[in-house]
């Protein structure tokens, strides 16, 4: 049986990305997903004492569990639940960090359909509590990752809800966001951006 | 089939607690578990814009998923994983909040067996990042909930690892911790304690 994402789409290791990255600079994405790159970065931050950021477990509604004698409980029936928060959170220098990571194969804009209403609501709540809240947006064809403060995302989201554009133009992300160059360790050094924006 | 906790213990609605609480002051625990009380408090904090604190989903290792046509994916085989962090985290006033909640039926001390090594390690990492980190300890017989800063827990944990006591004496919790009286809304107002300790 092929491995699939929770949304049912089959997981296909991306050979195209590998090719694309070989043409680019040395530390670019070697067929790793954005999630893998972020997990590697978080592991690096944790092991070096730089920050403590974890990915939240996938929320699952458990319906039926079997308790065999002398062995571990087996979940026999469960369903994927929609997350009510973002995927990543943690602490850096006492401050609360919260973000979502998304990628697109689109070249000229980032579709807002990558986000759900409840995630935007969550990010607004975090913003109001003075948490550091942002999104990491990856253009997978050109293998570029941008840091975009959540406040910008709220503006585009509200415009869409008022009947406007359903995506963010790449040129706007280039202006309002910050390109994060791939590095060896961590792969995506988003804490460096946070340092520059909040601690200098 | 009876409902059970992930550790296999059957869930028994506690009639004894209900009786105990009726003898006590008005807002004491009416047979609710500590988790239910905290969830209610977090919902209250969220709806009033006071703080954004969520319980993390139970981590589950998914082994087999069925994708029926025209209906939701069904997880057919999965196992409970041990969490590598605490159960609750979030943001208050920009600061990172992280805690674990545990209860005991013991009257005179709180057994350290309620915690796992990896949870202590996680709390130490949070502490080093200047996050606000604590435990909520409930003595279920007397229906008392204490806020205890994680730094105290580390001391008891290290003593135990050096061959010392395997529990924290209740009198020490009374001295070093802070009793949180039950209130109507939120049920357990731990943010009030944080306010007093960090924002005054």
> What are the 10-residue block averages of pLDDT along chain B, 200 residues in total?
62 49 49 90 98 95 91 92 93 97 96 95 98 97 96 98 97 98 96 94
CB pairs under 8 A between A and B: 127
Q: Is A85 annotated as a binding residue?
A: yes
Q: Is A100 annotated as a binding residue?
A: yes
| Chain B hits for A54, Cβ within 8 Å | 84-85
| Chain A hits for B125, Cβ within 8 Å | 46, 49, 52
Write down the ipTM of this complex: 0.83
The CATH code of domain A15-198 reads: 3.40.1350.10
Contact assignment for B75 to A94 by CB distance below 8 Å: no
Q: How far is CA A197 from CA A19, A177, A194, in A?
A: 34, 12, 5
Quote the minimal CA–CA distance from A77 to chain B in Å. 5
Looking at residue A8, its pLDDT comes to 64
**For domain B17-56+83-198, is the CATH number 3.20.20.140?**
no
Q: Is A77 annotated as a binding residue?
A: no
Contact assignment for B58 to A56 by CB distance below 8 Å: no
Per-domain boundaries in chain A: 15-198
Closest residue, chain B, to A71 (C-alpha): B8
Closest CA to A66 of A78, A56, A80, A76: A76
Looking at residue B29, its pLDDT comes to 53
| Chain A hits for B58, Cβ within 8 Å | 57, 60, 62
Q: Can you state the percent helix, strand and coil of chain A, rounding each to 5?
A: 30, 30, 40
Which residue positions in chain A have pLDDT lower than 50? 15-25
Looking at residue A32, its pLDDT comes to 79
Looking at residue B174, its pLDDT comes to 98
| Chain B hits for A69, Cβ within 8 Å | none
In the beta sheet, which residues pair with residue B98?
B89, B133
Q: Is A119 annotated as a binding residue?
A: yes
Minimum-distance CB partner of A78 among B4, B78, B131: B78
């Amino acid at each position: 049986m092929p491995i699939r994402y929770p949304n049912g789409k089959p997981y296909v290791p991306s050979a195209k990305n590998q090719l694309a990255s070989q043409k680019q600079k040395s530390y670019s994405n070697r067929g790793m997903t954005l999630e893998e790159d972020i997990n590697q970065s978080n592991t690096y931050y944790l092991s070096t004492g730089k920050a403590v950021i974890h990915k939240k477990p996938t929320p699952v509604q458990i319906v039926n569990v079997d308790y065999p004698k002398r062995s571990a409980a087996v979940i026999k029936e469960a369903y994927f639940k929609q997350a009510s928060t973002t995927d990543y959170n943690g602490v850096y220098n006492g401050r609360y960090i919260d973000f979502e990571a998304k990628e697109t194969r689109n070249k000229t804009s980032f579709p807002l359909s990558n986000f759900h209403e409840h995630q935007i609501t969550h990010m607004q709540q975090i913003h109001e509590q003075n948490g550091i809240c942002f999104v990491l947006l990856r253009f997978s064809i050109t293998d570029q990752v941008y840091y975009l403060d959540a406040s910008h995302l709220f503006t585009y989201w509200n415009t869409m809800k008022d009947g406007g554009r359903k995506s963010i133009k790449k040129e706007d992300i280039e202006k309002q966001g910050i390109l994060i160059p791939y590095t060896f360790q961590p792969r995506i050094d988003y804490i460096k951006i946070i340092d520059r924006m909040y601690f200098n």
